[in-house]
Chain A
Amino acid sequence: MEFGPHLMIAVLEGAVTAAVLALMASGLSLVFGVMRVVNVAHGQFFMLGAVLAWAVSSALGGGAWGFVAALVLAPLIAGALAVAADLTVLKRVGYDPERTIVATIGLLYILQQAALMTYGPEARPVAPPFNTRLALPWVEFGPDGPGLIWPWGLSITSYKLFVMAAAAAVLAGLWLLMSQTRIGLVMRATQLDGETAQAFGIPVGRVYAGVFGLGAALAALAGVLIVPIQQAHYLMGGEALLLSFIVVIIGGLGSLGGTVIAALLIGLSDGIVSVFFSPTLAKILATLLVALVLVFRPQGLMGKAAR
């Protein structure tokens, strides 16, 4: 394939990865920002979203409505589970940083094995509500000036465009929630100083439960969006968690803007490096980037230094 169209397809593929990654990593970043909890089980909520999407849509006989129902129900169920986990486990260990890591590792295994025992070890597909292949044109300069050509393989599907738009809309909604609403104000107050917030009558315990639920719901939503492109599989949470950690470390833990920028950076570089060189090199570069960020700017691109 020629360089131009080749690059374009790499960018488009990278953008899909970036969209899903941004959703997922923003959940991880939010939970850390407000609660100072490193949620190792985050990848499993992503997997849960995908598995629940299969369960919901196949219970409703597939089709577009099944997918819409999954889009609503799966994040709600995953969020409710996370709230329950927060109240029964994280609260009991007092949100102590070390103990929450161990607790969420336990949660990771419980969720993964529960999925294996109920859903099974197979990968299962969910039909996208729409999936038209859109052939894309490319400009070529011929003897008669510039003209449009349709190169072999240069295309995207309408569903992939929808994933990008949906992720952008949800992230914009999340930003509005955090910056413009009373809920956001309460969350930010809790983030700044939990004890003072409690003294001012903010129910910190309920805020924590809600934030943990919201983080899980964002991961689950990313899982629902990705499942018609890939498939639901009980092991899919592992790599997603790794990439999310890479994104939040580069972007700055707790910073939504940094997360989105880092997701774009990692998603696009993954797409472009994978296409032109190799996917393994893309992972190596991402890990190298994390090391460089930790050495030269430990708080991340947009994170604030600890006070």
Chain B
Amino acid sequence: MPASKIPSKPASGTELSSASGVDEPPRSPARRSALKTLAAAAGGASLPLWARYAEAQSAAPIRIGFQMHATGIGAAYGRWYNRTTEAALRLINEAGGINGRPVELVTEDDGTDPKRGAEVVEKFATQHRCDVGYGTLFSHVVMSSAPRAGELKLPYFVVSEGHHVASGALNRWTLQPGITDVKSQVLAMAPFVRENLGRKVTMIFPDYAFGHDHRDFFTQAIEAQGGEVVAKLAIPPSETSFTKYFPKIPRETEVIYHVMVGPSVLTFVKEMGEFFGPSRPEIFGFIDSLEAVDLQSPGLEFLEGTYFWEGMPRYAQPDQTDFDRHYRAAIGIDENGALAADPRDVSAYAHMFGCWETLYVIKAGMEACGYRGPDDRAALVEAVEAMSTMPLSNEHPQGAKIFNGKTHQVFGPQYISKVENGRLTVLEETPIEAGFYPDEVDYTTQPL
């Protein structure tokens, strides 16, 4: 990211050279700075943790308010968002923190509840004096929390998937730099569904904002491909049994498109299998319907030969990158996407990378604007808005990305996988451009 574009304050380290008293400019500043960094890193690694930050203007930690779905219907995601966040923060702190300061997590449970979500954001800003708010997933919680974050001028980094950020429904303080949105995902998926699976689609989705994004944008996307949605089954997010909905699936259906969330996802998929028995149509699902669920669970055998969207491939693929290997090792995840210490504890692998990547975006943004404290929050938002390309790296293990500063939304690759022998095999990685759509908002025109 070109740091020069950002209206930034001087970073804490830049004043050191004038203090050195040397009149003639260094012959090779790049080399000198590289040597200095190396020496500092080597020295730093041998020091106790508190001493590594001594060079910073303030040794006080940067505080990141983590709005966690610890309880309620988002708990499975919350647990893994937490593990991913802690792993990334450990690495960031081991590497010297942000701007030479340690980073501290302030975790609050929002109960996957919109009302509590807004209260948690308020606590971050007023009680805990957090520098930023971060981490929430469920779109109804994002929708209720973001206005409060805007009022309190707290940069609010969401790891949701709803189209709410890029649609312009929120405000300039809300950013989604770590995970793609539903509109982008379904645009990238629709051609595969139409070309390989069928033309007449029945959609099954949760009956709230996130599900409605799927309903609206996939319908548009498949129609643009010459397909048609023949039925739409909206299911309340707290529903616990599903067989009663399935008879509404029209017989002409060629493809079932499913995306469900919440504690009953396993029940949903199992009952779908029991309903269809041996004579099922083609099935294309979003892995949300099985996130944090073991594919080997009894009753899921019928998924063999069905297709899934994955944000990041749960099973390590033959062409696994070093970055994916590094990411899995840092969190402690095995090649099947489960906790290495407990293979029955399956991760929310397709989504949780968003936490990792968002934290590194916060770090890059704070470093670019020389972030010193809550007074620099506006500069941080501007610094992130100035970002554009994010290369595939340890910081972005899911894939290279392009961030749109106007809409505050990131774009990246999507993965289409097939269930083969009880595991997910990636068939296709869509290009970033497949998920592009015209801007619907320009947040940079709003005052900070």
User: B78 to chain A: which residues have CB within 8 Å?
Assistant: 121
Query: Which of A5, A10, A230 is in CB contact (< 8 Å) with B264?
Result: A230
Query: Which of B79, B236, B251 is in CB contact (< 8 Å) with A152?
Result: B251
User: Are A157 and B264 in contact, with the CB atoms below 8 A?
Assistant: no
User: Are A233 and B274 in contact, with the CB atoms below 8 A?
Assistant: no
* CB within 8 Å for A275 and B75 given contacts A152-B279, A153-B276, A233-B263: no
B49-87 CB contacts (< 8 Å) to partner A: 70-73, 75-76, 78-79
Inter-chain CA distance A1–B249, complex, in Å, is: 7
* CB within 8 Å for A230 and B267 given contacts A121-B72, A122-B76, A271-B244: yes
User: B238 to chain A: which residues have CB within 8 Å?
Assistant: 239
Inter-chain CA distance A128–B267, complex, in Å, is: 12
* Chain B interface size, under 10 / 10 to 19 / 20 to 34 / 35 or more: 20 to 34
User: Are B264 and A133 in contact, with the CB atoms below 8 A?
Assistant: no
A5-49 CB contacts (< 8 Å) to partner B: 5-6, 9-10, 13, 17
User: Are A123 and B277 in contact, with the CB atoms below 8 A?
Assistant: no
Interface string of A231-244 (1 = CB under 8 A from B): 10101100100000
User: Are A10 and B244 in contact, with the CB atoms below 8 A?
Assistant: yes
Inter-chain CA distance A116–B267, complex, in Å, is: 21
Inter-chain CA distance A155–B70, complex, in Å, is: 37
User: Are A229 and B267 in contact, with the CB atoms below 8 A?
Assistant: yes
User: Are A6 and B247 in contact, with the CB atoms below 8 A?
Assistant: yes
User: Are B264 and A231 in contact, with the CB atoms below 8 A?
Assistant: yes
User: Are B240 and A230 in contact, with the CB atoms below 8 A?
Assistant: yes
Task: Confirm or deny: A61 has a beta carbon within 8 angstroms of a beta carbon on chain B.
Answer: no
Task: Confirm or deny: A292 has a beta carbon within 8 angstroms of a beta carbon on chain B.
Answer: no
Task: Confirm or deny: B239 has a beta carbon within 8 angstroms of a beta carbon on chain A.
Answer: yes
User: A89 to chain B: which residues have CB within 8 Å?
Assistant: none
Indicate the member of B236, B247, B266, B297 with the most A CB atoms within 10 Å.
B247
Task: Confirm or deny: B275 has a beta carbon within 8 angstroms of a beta carbon on chain A.
Answer: yes
Inter-chain CA distance A264–B210, complex, in Å, is: 35
Interface string of B295-337 (1 = CB under 8 A from A): 0011100000000000000000000000000000000000000
Interface string of B276-300 (1 = CB under 8 A from A): 1101000000000000100001110
User: Are A155 and B298 in contact, with the CB atoms below 8 A?
Assistant: no
User: Are B247 and A1 in contact, with the CB atoms below 8 A?
Assistant: yes
Inter-chain CA distance A66–B245, complex, in Å, is: 31
* CB within 8 Å for A122 and B75 given contacts A152-B279, A153-B246, A233-B263: yes
Query: Which of B73, B79, B266 is in CB contact (< 8 Å) with A231?
Result: B266
Interface string of A256-296 (1 = CB under 8 A from B): 00000000000000010011000110000000000000000
User: Are A230 and B241 in contact, with the CB atoms below 8 A?
Assistant: yes
* CB within 8 Å for A121 and B71 given contacts A153-B275, A231-B263: yes
User: Are A280 and B236 in contact, with the CB atoms below 8 A?
Assistant: yes
Task: Confirm or deny: B421 has a beta carbon within 8 angstroms of a beta carbon on chain A.
Answer: no
State how many angstroms separate the Cβ of A157 from the closest Cβ of chain B: 6
User: Are A155 and B263 in contact, with the CB atoms below 8 A?
Assistant: no
Task: Confirm or deny: B243 has a beta carbon within 8 angstroms of a beta carbon on chain A.
Answer: yes
User: A279 to chain B: which residues have CB within 8 Å?
Assistant: 236, 239, 244
Query: Which of B70, B249, B267 is in CB contact (< 8 Å) with A121?
Result: B70
User: A155 to chain B: which residues have CB within 8 Å?
Assistant: 274-275, 277
* CB within 8 Å for A120 and B75 given contacts A153-B246, A279-B239: yes
Closest to A282 in B: B244
Closest to B251 in A: A152
User: B75 to chain A: which residues have CB within 8 Å?
Assistant: 120-122
User: Are A275 and B244 in contact, with the CB atoms below 8 A?
Assistant: yes
Task: Confirm or deny: A127 has a beta carbon within 8 angstroms of a beta carbon on chain B.
Answer: yes
Inter-chain CA distance A136–B73, complex, in Å, is: 35
Indicate the member of B70, B275, B292 with the most A CB atoms within 10 Å.
B275
User: Are A9 and B76 in contact, with the CB atoms below 8 A?
Assistant: no
User: Are B297 and A9 in contact, with the CB atoms below 8 A?
Assistant: no
Inter-chain CA distance A154–B299, complex, in Å, is: 18
User: Are A122 and B243 in contact, with the CB atoms below 8 A?
Assistant: no
* CB within 8 Å for A123 and B266 given contacts A152-B251, A279-B244: yes
Inter-chain CA distance A13–B243, complex, in Å, is: 7
User: B267 to chain A: which residues have CB within 8 Å?
Assistant: 125, 229-231
Interface string of B217-258 (1 = CB under 8 A from A): 000000000000000000010111101111111010000000
State how many angstroms separate the Cβ of A136 from the closest Cβ of chain B: 11
User: B275 to chain A: which residues have CB within 8 Å?
Assistant: 153, 155
B8-30 CB contacts (< 8 Å) to partner A: none
State how many angstroms separate the Cβ of B277 from the closest Cβ of chain A: 5
Indicate the member of A10, A120, A152, A275 with the most B CB atoms within 10 Å.
A152
A136-171 CB contacts (< 8 Å) to partner B: 152-153, 155, 157
User: Are A116 and B244 in contact, with the CB atoms below 8 A?
Assistant: no
State how many angstroms separate the Cβ of B27 from the closest Cβ of chain A: 60
User: Are A153 and B263 in contact, with the CB atoms below 8 A?
Assistant: no
User: A17 to chain B: which residues have CB within 8 Å?
Assistant: 241
Task: Please name the 6 residue pairs, one residue from A and one from B, whose CB atoms are nearest each other, closest first.
Answer: A121-B75, A123-B263, A1-B247, A274-B244, A121-B71, A233-B263
Sampled A-B contacts (15; CB under 8 Å): A1-B249, A1-B251, A9-B247, A121-B75, A121-B76, A123-B264, A131-B274, A135-B277, A152-B276, A155-B274, A229-B267, A231-B264, A231-B267, A271-B244, A280-B236
| B contact set with A: CB distance below 8 Å | 70-73, 75-76, 78-79, 236, 238-241, 243-249, 251, 263-264, 266-267, 274-277, 279, 292, 297-299
